[in-house]
Amino acid sequence: MAGTPGTPRVLRAMNDRAALELLVAHGPLTRTRLGELTGLSKPTAAQLLTRLEAAGLVRRTGSVTGRPGPSAGLYEVDPGIAHVAALSAGPEGVTARVADIAGTVAGEHHAAAEQGAGAAELVARAVDGALAAAGLGRDALHRTVIGTPGALDPRTGLLRYAPHLPDWRSPALLDELAGITGTPVVVENDVNLAAVAEQHAGAARGCTDYVLLWADEGVGAAVVLGGTLLRGATGGAGEIGYMPLPGAPLARGGDDATAGPDGGGGFQMLVASPAVIALARAHGIDARTAPEALARAAAEPGAGDDVYAELGRRLALGLAAVVAVVDPELVVLSGAVCRAGGERLRAMVEAELTGLALPRPQLRLSTVEDRPVLAGALQTALAAAREAAFDTA
């Protein structure tokens, strides 16, 4: 029976959770140091560690030597109490990353898309490959989070805004994936997960009101207000790739249908990777990818300057509509296009944004280097696993 707020049982559980979170954040700690960080007395900190060790949540991992007096024992969260899987899915396939509850990555595997291979099969191959690399079986997993383009409609459970992933639109897919992994499965928008990664260990650390603009093969945004992701009634908050803007064909049609000569419409037709390649080509710069186009433009005065100026103007035009409505403290520029454009592009977007919208948010480049969607999925899965594992009430 759960305790009443303020009772010794509840207070102990609160102290236990605080101590476990500190051990995750700081790594191995002595009883003395843990007491200092929690504000608990030495005897209380010692009792807490004894309790957590008996529960199998904490283990002794060595001692601190080289100072006066007896050596002090070091304690850490037992990393093997839970493992999680983080996945990133797209038209090219599915990548899975497995980590222990401390966040240490133990294995990773990419399952490439193949003719006839459905979503469930790709997830199974990716997860099993990552587990094999980690030397683990499926029974080691406790939580799974998958990042995909588009978003699950909370009313229907169907993936929307991602017509290029038809195999992910089955209403039974979540149950099938839960059966494969043996864990609860969350499917989250990939740009939302990139925003989680930036807040955890990137450009948005310490910020609770920000927008992440993602410009890559597709275009989207994540909106975080009061520290909470805004998802919208159908999960479509932030799907600004479809946003109508001057100079872009309109996106029209049904649920996920779009219009335009390339099967799309809206903001994405101005700033996604194919649009950047076309913009560079219009100025006499040939390239196969957007990063290559921007690298060549940066090295070519005149025509290259025009490419950056026009791309900066286009990005600012779309951002102005978002900023005028949301009024964020910060905008993080992410995705292959923004990262390739670097500080030069960021400065041009900032200059162009002045005068287009009254709010003046800070503009920063993403600082999450290693696959932000996977990093955000991992943090989301770890948060859920720790919530369950660290509950000692």
Mean pLDDT of 202-219: 96
Residue 254 has pLDDT above 80, yes or no: no
**How many Å apart are CA 290 and CA 273, to the nearest integer?**
5
Q: 281-291 pLDDT, tens per residue?
A: 999 999 999 99
Which amino acid would we find at residue 142? H
Which amino acid would we find at residue 44? T
Mean pLDDT of 139-143: 96
pLDDT value, residue 264:
61
Which amino acid would we find at residue 81? I
**How many Å apart are CA 311 and CA 307, to the nearest integer?**
6
Render 265-327 in DSSP notation, one character per residue.
Answer: -TTHHHHSHHHHHHHHHHTT---SSHHHHHHHHHTSTTHHHHHHHHHHHHHHHHHHHHHHHH-
Residues belonging to the chain:
393
Mode of pairing for the β-strands spanning 83-90 and 141-148: parallel
Which amino acid would we find at residue 386? R
3-class SS at 371? Answer: coil
pLDDT value, residue 260:
35
Mean pLDDT of 115-136: 94
Mean pLDDT of 12-34: 93
Strand partners, 76: 59
Specify whether the CB–CB gap between 45 and 73 falls below 8 A: no
Q: In which band, very low, low, confident or very high, does the pLDDT at 88 lie, cut at 50, 70 and 90?
A: very high
3-class SS at 253? Answer: coil
In order of their start, the domains of the chain are 8-77 (1.10.10.10), 81-192+373-389 (3.30.420.40), 206-367 (3.30.420.40)
Residue 109 has pLDDT above 90, yes or no: yes
* DSSP code for 170: -
Specify whether the CB–CB gap between 238 and 230 falls below 8 A: yes
Q: What percentage of the chain exceeds 70 in pLDDT?
A: 93
**How many Å apart are CA 385 and CA 383, to the nearest integer?**
6
Non-local CB neighbours of 57 within 8 Å, separated by 6+ positions: 16, 20, 77, 78, 81, 389, 390, 392
Q: What percentage of the chain exceeds 90 in pLDDT?
A: 77
Specify whether the CB–CB gap between 332 and 214 falls below 8 A: no
